[in-house]
Structure 1
């Protein structure tokens, strides 16, 4: 099957845009006619089709949020699930999402439930998502479940965006700094070096600068290859479970970074747990599913111990107190929530407070890193300029 993007007109003359799957272009035109539309343009999305079938492009978090929010809206309006999937598929959805919706629709038409159809795509839908959908099917409360899932996905996407945005500016400054250094040692220093006729009489700092410039011009290609190879090696290493485990353990021991990791994981864990408790899941199952939202394996193991203790009759608050994820203040809030039977609101409150804490931390770190990187770049550029001026002054002194 191929993905086609089309433009068509209805009987009233209004223009409609959409996407659909068909064997060939003529079959796509026939499908559009069957919808009572007059096709004006039908184009095969070759690039996206190739990416779908080669599995090089996956459904993004934004696509998943869009799908969940749209399903919540359509189901609450009384639209059947199969019809709802078809409507979303014909909207301006991404090709990877269109392929996913087609597979889910096909599974449902064969008699499977929605949760069973989602289980076949566990690379897109995590166990938390699937279990809540299954719970919604059993209780007849799917619109509300999808609304809560959409809210959680938006929360996660905002968190992801904040992490990326907090790292973007420092990386841009660092990239500009590296480009300035490459430009200076490849173009500025070599042109100024012609001023010095006798290198042996030059001061040591001038000789060091010229030597570094010559070294960069001779070996910078190999250095660039080494950096690229190192980057690919790091990506490969992060896919190795043993290295990832050591790296995550190390992060929790670095001052400053450890707190940011704990706050981020606390947001993920508490937002998921609050949503599941509101949906009516028992605490031990909610803990098991919320544990999957935690990325750090060390903290995951701690939560598995907590779940085991709670399952065997231990209180939740003392068990969570033994983990790294909850400071004493949050434990006191949990004790109150446990006594009042209102744990979902407490977990939601902890998630919101942790989010504010994370935003404050990222703002402080960005504010601190920006001037440090600018000073670093200015120090290197200014240092080169000062050395060259001092060298020219030294040469003039020798001439007189």
Structure 2
């Protein structure tokens, strides 16, 4: 009995390489997806959904493991699904929620993990999750307000820059050749305009490269502690911006400490955690120093009053009342609410305040270019 090996060998030779190629492609796709997951960010809305629904399910008597498995199925973020499933796996192995959260501190943050730990120790995890939901929601709203208010001026300034560049590269060179044909002496504003235009036209790539290098160096400097510290020093001295930055940091300061104290975390630990939450390095440094001074026996009111440039008199007064009445957490919550409303009002009115300023800047720029173009023409008409 003979077997026809021709068809078998040829088919096998054709199929085997295809399988290898498919395996390689699948491996490459998986690597790319894993890389994208590493660099992807978890949105605040995802965290809000997670915290709120975890609290609801635990209150309803659903086990922690079942709650995590259910939330993993409902999340729209692949990265967050992976994180929640990893937490569920750890809980299934007998670990606490706090222990399951710690490998993902970059996602949830020190504040979140410490509050959950306090909730698990005190047996008040459901109420702690409610406080965390409020904390994240308020913070998300604050950030959204600031971003929303800054969108309008950024768009207007970008449009101004684009129009100005177009004028310099396309419009001004045509007028320049016409003016040079007359051979008349050009006024200083016109000479400056032509010089800028010629530089952009003749050395456009070099100018663009210099701009990119400058932005890159500036960002790199801002990422260093010293660079960020000095930049924030300037921000805290600017007339219009400084009050907004201070109110945002004070709102975050009061809200965070209030939430931590309500979960029975010690006052010194609360200040240390809060310091890491604050984005402004001056406030972070001050709050860390306050924690150290409280550890040595000083009252919060005494220490905070030593930083009048960062903490307003109303903060000092409210903290003093909170210490005397023993209701510091409630007082700080009211203070946070006050500053959050202040920031809301400022952000709502900011576009209407900036609009006339931007119009003035735009008008000055266009007017300056118009004057620089019209002046030589006017001089020529007078000389004819």
Q: TM-score, normalised by structure 2?
A: 0.84
1:106 aligns with 2:89: yes
The corresponding residue for 1:345 is 330
CA shift for structure 1 position 381: 2.1
Residues 35-89 of structure 1 deviation map (CA, whole Å, 9 limit, x = unaligned): xxxxxxxxx999755411xx11132333222221221122122221111111111
Instruction: Please give the secondary structure, in 1, of the residue aligned with 2:232.
Output: helix
CA shift for structure 1 position 396: 4.3
> In the superposition, relative to structure 1, how do residues 236 and 211 fare at CA in structure 2: closer, same or farther (>3 Å)?
closer
> In the superposition, relative to structure 1, how do residues 282 and 194 fare at CA in structure 2: closer, same or farther (>3 Å)?
closer
1:116 aligns with 2:116: no
Q: Contact (CA 8 Å) 1:180, 1:381: kept in 2 or not?
A: no
The corresponding residue for 1:168 is 151
Distance in 2 (CA, whole Å) between partners of 1:147 and 1:374 is: 45
1:61 to 44, 47, 62: 44
The corresponding residue for 1:385 is 370
Q: Write 1 or 2 for the structure with the bigger share of strand.
A: 1
Which of the pair has the greater relative contact order for Cα pairs under 8 Å at 6+ separation? 2
The corresponding residue for 2:251 is 267
Residues 331-368 of structure 1 deviation map (CA, whole Å, 9 limit, x = unaligned): 22222222221111110111111122223444554433
The corresponding residue for 2:11 is none
Residues 135-180 of structure 1 deviation map (CA, whole Å, 9 limit, x = unaligned): 2112222221111101100111111112212221111111111111
Q: Contact (CA 8 Å) 2:322, 2:331: kept in 1 or not?
A: yes
1:292 to 276, 283, 295: 276
1:334 aligns with 2:334: no
1:91 to 74, 79, 92: 74
2:358 to 373, 382, 387: 373
The corresponding residue for 1:215 is 199
CA shift for structure 1 position 226: 1.7
Instruction: Please give the secondary structure, in 2, of the residue aligned with 1:126.
Output: helix
CA shift for structure 1 position 395: 3.8
Residues 164-206 of structure 1 deviation map (CA, whole Å, 9 limit, x = unaligned): 1222111111111111111111222233345336353143244
Instruction: Please give the secondary structure, in 1, of the residue aligned with 2:278.
Output: coil
Distance in 1 (CA, whole Å) between partners of 2:75 and 2:30 is: 13
Q: Contact (CA 8 Å) 2:46, 2:75: kept in 1 or not?
A: no
Distance in 1 (CA, whole Å) between partners of 2:47 and 2:231 is: 29
> In the superposition, relative to structure 1, how do residues 244 and 211 fare at CA in structure 2: closer, same or farther (>3 Å)?
closer
Distance in 2 (CA, whole Å) between partners of 1:69 and 1:167 is: 29
> In the superposition, relative to structure 1, how do residues 197 and 286 fare at CA in structure 2: closer, same or farther (>3 Å)?
closer
1:155 aligns with 2:138: yes
Task: Name whichever of 87-96 and 322-331 sits farther off.
Answer: 322-331
Instruction: Please give the secondary structure, in 1, of the residue aligned with 2:107.
Output: coil
> In the superposition, relative to structure 1, how do residues 393 and 252 fare at CA in structure 2: closer, same or farther (>3 Å)?
closer
Q: Write 1 or 2 for the structure with the bigger share of helix.
A: 2
2:53 to 46, 49, 70: 70
Task: Name whichever of 140-149 and 241-250 sits farther off.
Answer: 241-250
The corresponding residue for 1:302 is 286
> In the superposition, relative to structure 1, how do residues 365 and 114 fare at CA in structure 2: closer, same or farther (>3 Å)?
same
Instruction: Please give the secondary structure, in 2, of the residue aligned with 1:125.
Output: helix
Residues 199-223 of structure 1 deviation map (CA, whole Å, 9 limit, x = unaligned): 5314324444333322221123222
RMSD: 2.4
> In the superposition, relative to structure 1, how do residues 329 and 202 fare at CA in structure 2: closer, same or farther (>3 Å)?
same
> In the superposition, relative to structure 1, how do residues 121 and 160 fare at CA in structure 2: closer, same or farther (>3 Å)?
same
The corresponding residue for 1:322 is 306
> In the superposition, relative to structure 1, how do residues 387 and 310 fare at CA in structure 2: closer, same or farther (>3 Å)?
closer
Q: Contact (CA 8 Å) 1:271, 1:348: kept in 2 or not?
A: yes
> In the superposition, relative to structure 1, how do residues 199 and 207 fare at CA in structure 2: closer, same or farther (>3 Å)?
farther
The corresponding residue for 2:209 is 225
Task: Name whichever of 209-218 and 144-153 sits farther off.
Answer: 209-218
* Unpaired segments ≥5 residues, structure 2: 1-28
CA shift for structure 1 position 304: 2.2
Distance in 2 (CA, whole Å) between partners of 1:50 and 1:300 is: 33
The corresponding residue for 1:177 is 160
Task: Name whichever of 194-203 and 163-172 sits farther off.
Answer: 194-203
The corresponding residue for 1:33 is none
CA shift for structure 1 position 286: 1.9
Distance in 2 (CA, whole Å) between partners of 1:302 and 1:353 is: 22
Tell me the matched-pair count.
Answer: 354
